[in-house]
Structure 1
Amino acid sequence: MLTNEEKSAIHEFFASKGLPTGRALTFSDVSLPENYSDIRSRSEVFNFETRLSQNLNLSIPIVSANMESVTGLELAVALEREGGLAFPPQSLPIEERVELITRISRADSALIDEPLTTKPNTALEDAKKQMSQFGVRSLIVIDKNKKPVGILSKRDWLYEEKDGKSVGDLMSKKLIVAALGIDFKKAGELLRKNKIEKLPLVDKSGKLAGLITANGLFYKSRYPRATRDDKGRFLRAGSIGVGQTFTAKHLREVEAQIKNGVSILLIDTARAYSVNTEEAIKKIKKEFPKLPLVVGNVSTAEGAKFLFEIGADIVKVGQGPGFVCRTREVGVGVPQLTAVAECAVIAGRYKKTVIADGGIKNPGDLAKALIVGARAVMLGNLLVRARESASPMFVDEDNRPVKNYTGSASFAAQLARYRRGDLKSIRRPEGVTQVVPVTGTIHEIVDDLLRGLASTMAYLGVKNLGELRDKGRFIEQTAAGHFEGVKKA
C-alpha cells in the first residue's frame, strides 16, 4: 500500500511533467515541446552517463534484454564496448551462463586475474579444445609449481599435423614476465620493447598470478567509455529466475556466478510483485548481503515499493510493452510511460533506481523513458536486429538477412526449457516469435539511438541526462497528432 505522502509525490511529479493521473499513457501518447536552447550544435551533446546504483555507473543508458535470442557473447562484448551493460539469459543452464560470464570477462581484458593455463605434458589436442571452449588463441604453460615456463599460441601449432604431440615440444620458451601490480603504462612499454603480445605476471615466489595482453591494452584505449571494472575487465552481470519455489539449487546458481566475478545480479520473473520473488530476494540478501540486485518486472508503484522494501536495489519496469510480449492479452499491465514514471517516483524516495524494460522503438521513446525517471532502458527488439545478437542470421524469401526474435514466455522458449528439465509444465504463452530484419551492428544501432537522443537534448537545451530529467516536460497528443509526426511512406 502507498502512503498518502507517496501518492501526493506521484501526483506532484506527474503534474510537473504534464502527465495525467486519471489514465495511463505510453510513449506515443505524448510529445516533447521544445525549450529555449543555447546549444549551437548537436555535437555539443555527448554526455550520456547514468548512475544505476551507488557503485555502478554506465557511459550510456542502455542494457541488453536477458533473452536467449538477444544476449550472447558477441552482443555482450559489443554493447559493453559502447558503454552499456549485458545481462545473460537466466533461462540458460547454469553451466552455459557461467561460461558466458567468464568469456565476457576475458574479452578485451587488459588484466586477466586467472589466465588459462596448461602443462608441458598436455597433448596438443586437449590444449586446442581448451582454447576453442574459451575462445582464446594462447595458453600460459606452467610447471608443477605453477611457475610459467612458456606460451602456446596458434602460430606454434598451426602447421603441426600430430595432435598427440605435447605442449612442451611446441610452446615458445622465450618468456618475458613482470611482477604482479605493474601499472598498465609500464606493461605497455614492456610489450612494445620486447615485441610480444602477452605479459605473464608473477608473485614474489615466481608463481603465475595474472596476465596483461597487448590486445587488452589496445581495446582499453580504443573504447574509452566501455563498461569495465577497476582491473580493465568488462563488467559482469549475472541472472537468475525465480520459479514456483526458490530453492537451494537457485542459491548454488547465484553462488556460481558470484565466484565468476559478477558485480550485479538480475532476478527476473514476469510477476515480481509476488511471494516467489519475496522469498528469492530475502534468501539471496541473507547469503550475499552486498550483492546489488536488479529485480523485475512490475508495472505499478505498489509493486516497486514492495521490491525496494525487501532488498531490491534497481527495479525493472514493464509488463507487456515488449515487441514479442503478449502479457496484456490477459488484461494485466500498465502503459509503459505511466508505469515507469510512478515507479521512478517511489525509487527516488528510497534512493534507488529503475530500468524501463520494453516498448522502446526509437530515440524519442528512449528520451521519454529517461525524462520520467528511468536510469536506463532494457532493449530487446532493437538489439536483436544487430548482427552480433545471439539469434542465428538467415535469409528470407526476398534474400534479406533476418533473425528470429523469441519472447521468453513464448511457446518455443518454454518448450526448450521444458525439454531441458528447467520447466515443470508449459503454461499459456505470453510471448511470440517474430522474424525481424537485421539492421546493422551494435555500434551502428547504438550510435543511431545516441545521435537521436542528442538531438532531443539539443531541442530541450540540456547537455546531460540529469538536466534532461529536470527540464523535460510532455504534452499529450491524439492518435492523429502522433501519425502526423511519424514516417508515412
Structure 2
Amino acid sequence: MEEFFKSVTFEDFLIRPHHGMLDSRKDANLTMQFSRRISIKTPIVGANMDTVTGENMMKALSLNGCFGFIHRNCSIEKEARQVAAVKRQQSFIVANPLAVGKNMPIKEAKRIVKIEKVSGLLVEESPGSGILAGILSRRDFPRDNDEKLVSEFMTPFDRLVTAKEGVSLEEAERVMYEIRKEKLPIIDENGKIRGLVTMKDLEKSKHFPYSSIDSRGRLLVGATIGATGDFMERAAAIIEAEADCVLIDIAHGDSEVMRKAVESFKAKFPNTELVCGNVGTRDGARFLADLGADAVKVGIGPGHGCRTRIETGVGVPQMQAIREAYLGVDGRVPIIADGGIEDDGEIAKAIFCGADTVMLGSMIAGTDESPGVISINPATKKQVKKYRGMTSPDAVLDRNDWENPSEILESSPAQEGQPLEIDYVGSVVPIIKRIREHLQSTVSYTGQRTLSLVHKLAVASPYDYFINKLTEAAQKESFDR
C-alpha cells in the first residue's frame, strides 16, 4: 500500500479541486455500486444498529435513494416482520390484487369495494382460478339490479389491454397514458393474473425519483444476521420475508467463524446477495471476497459507539483501512466504509480512497426515523435520543433476558461498545438531501459529471486527487469552525 495512506484518517486529507465541467452541481450523478448486483443513487447506508436502523429508518433510506440493514437485536420474528413491512411500503405493481369471480352478484362486489376501499376489481373466470376475465370499476356499478352478475357489467378480457410479467415502470406508464386507463393488469402466458399496475401507484413512485427499488417497484431492504447460533434460522426467515440483501456482521470478520458462516449461508442461499464484515486490513478484505461476499464492510473501531481500539488496542485508522480493503478486493466487489464519519466531506474522502458507499450511525441516530424515543437531557435541557455500540452493556442486555442482568453481563465477553446521547435533529430526510447536495458539489469541484467516475479516477491516482498529511496549522485553517 502507498505510504500516502499509512496511519492516516479523514482530517489528514483535503480533496484537490479540478477544472469544473458541470453547469450546475444538481446535474452530478451520485449512483454507486452497493454490492455485486445492487446499485443505489445516493451512496449512504444505515448502520445495522438497534438505535439507528429499524423499519422506519429503512423505509426512509430506500425512499430517498440510500440503503441500510435492519438490526438483529430482536427476535427472528420481529426482524422478519420489519423486512416484510418495508417491502409492502410501496410498489408500482400490486402483487396480489383483489379478484372476484365473474358470476358473483353485483351486490357482493359493491360490498368488497367499500370494505377494501378500492376503485375497482379484477374479475376471474371462477373463484380461485386466477384466469383474467375482465375488470369491474366503480363506474361500472348499476344504481340498482344488485342481484345481477359481475359479468354483465365488467369490461371483458377481449377489450382489455394487459402487460406481461417483468414490465418496467416506464413501459407501464407509457401504455397507460396511451390507452387512458388507470389500471393495467399483469398476466402470464396462460392468462393468469400476476399483478396489477395502477396510475395512483405510478404517480406515488414518481414522487421519489431516487428510490432504491426492486423490479416490482418495491423498496429495497437489507437485514442482519450473526455467524453463530440461530443465524441460519434468522437468515431463512428474513429471506422468506424478501430481504434483498443479508449482512453477516461480526466484530472480527477475518476469522474462521466467518468462513464457516459464509460457507453455510452460500450453500443454502446461493442466490441471495451477501455482505460480510467487519475487517480492517487488505488480507481481511481479500479473505471475504475470496469467500464469495458480494460486498465487504470495513472498519475496526472507528465509530462513536465503539471502544474496541481503547479496550483492546486493536484497529486500523479508517482511511488506511478503506485503502487496504480496496487494494485487497482488487475491484471484484464493492467496499462499504463503516464508521468514523464526522461530517459530509469525510463521506467524499472515504469514496475517493476506495469505498463505494459509506455506512452512517451517529449522524442519523438522532432522527425521527431511528428506533427509540426522544428524551430530555436534564443537564442541558436538550432533546436527545440514545445511541450505542452493539456490544455496549445495555445492548447486550436487550438481546437477552433482563431477569438476571448480572449473570448475563458476567457470562458475556467484555464489552467493547458504549452508550451515548445524540442531539435530536428531526427527520432524516433533510440530512440525506444535504449529504446528496454536498456530494454533488464535490463531484463538481473535482471536474467530473458522475461520482462513480471520480471514484474510479481517484482510487487509481490518489496523488492527483488528495492533499495529504496536513500540518496542524492547515488542519486548523480547514476544520476549526
Do the structures match in fold with TM over 0.5? Answer: yes
**2:325 aligned counterpart, secondary structure:** helix
- Output the TM-score relative to the length of structure 2: 0.78
Larger radius of gyration, structure 1 or 2?
A: 2
1:432 correspondence with 2:425: no
> For each residue in 1:395-418, what CA deviation from the matched residue of structure 2 results, as whole angstroms up to 9, or x when unmatched?
444554321112111111100112
The residue type paired with residue 47 of structure 2 is A
**365, 382, 395: which one pairs with 2:363?**
382
**431, 443, 450: which one pairs with 2:436?**
450
Quote the sequence identity (%).
30
Task: After TM superposition, list the pairs within 5 Å mapping 1:460-471 onto structure 2.
Answer: 460-469=446-455, 470-471=457-458
Task: After TM superposition, list the pairs within 5 Å mapping 1:32-431 onto structure 2.
Answer: 32=15, 34-39=16-21, 43=25, 45-114=27-96, 145=128, 181=164, 184-185=172-173, 209-243=194-228, 249-329=230-310, 330-348=312-330, 351-397=332-378, 400-419=382-401, 425-431=411-417
**465, 474, 478: which one pairs with 1:481?**
474
- Output the TM-score relative to the length of structure 1: 0.77
What is aligned with 1:29? 12
What is aligned with 1:123? none
How far apart in 2 are the matches of 1:408 and 1:439? 22
**1:308 aligned counterpart, secondary structure:** helix
Displacement of 1:150: 12
What is aligned with 2:142? none
> Runs of 5+ in structure 2 lacking a partner?
105-111, 137-152, 459-464
Contact 2:305 2:387 in 1 (8 A): yes
Cα separation, partners in 2 of 1:451 and 1:180, compared to 1, 3 Å? closer
What is the number of residues matched between the two proteins?
Answer: 429
Contact 2:226 2:250 in 1 (8 A): yes
The residue type paired with residue 38 of structure 1 is G
How far apart in 2 are the matches of 1:184 and 1:298? 43
How far apart in 2 are the matches of 1:101 and 1:138? 28
The residue type paired with residue 216 of structure 1 is D
Displacement of 1:64: 0.7
Cα separation, partners in 2 of 1:309 and 1:37, compared to 1, 3 Å? same
> For each residue in 1:107-130, what CA deviation from the matched residue of structure 2 results, as whole angstroms up to 9, or x when unmatched?
121113246999x9xxxxxx9xxx
Aligned Cα RMSD in Å? 3.7
The residue type paired with residue 347 of structure 1 is V
Cα separation, partners in 2 of 1:175 and 1:433, compared to 1, 3 Å? farther
> Runs of 5+ in structure 1 lacking a partner?
1-9, 121-126, 152-173
Cα separation, partners in 2 of 1:487 and 1:114, compared to 1, 3 Å? farther
**1:295 aligned counterpart, secondary structure:** strand
The residue type paired with residue 264 of structure 1 is C
The residue type paired with residue 44 of structure 2 is I
Displacement of 1:457: 2.7
Displacement of 1:232: 0.9
Cα separation, partners in 2 of 1:347 and 1:394, compared to 1, 3 Å? same
Displacement of 1:200: 7.4
Cα separation, partners in 2 of 1:184 and 1:434, compared to 1, 3 Å? same
Cα separation, partners in 2 of 1:430 and 1:150, compared to 1, 3 Å? farther
Displacement of 1:80: 0.9
How far apart in 2 are the matches of 1:344 and 1:100? 32
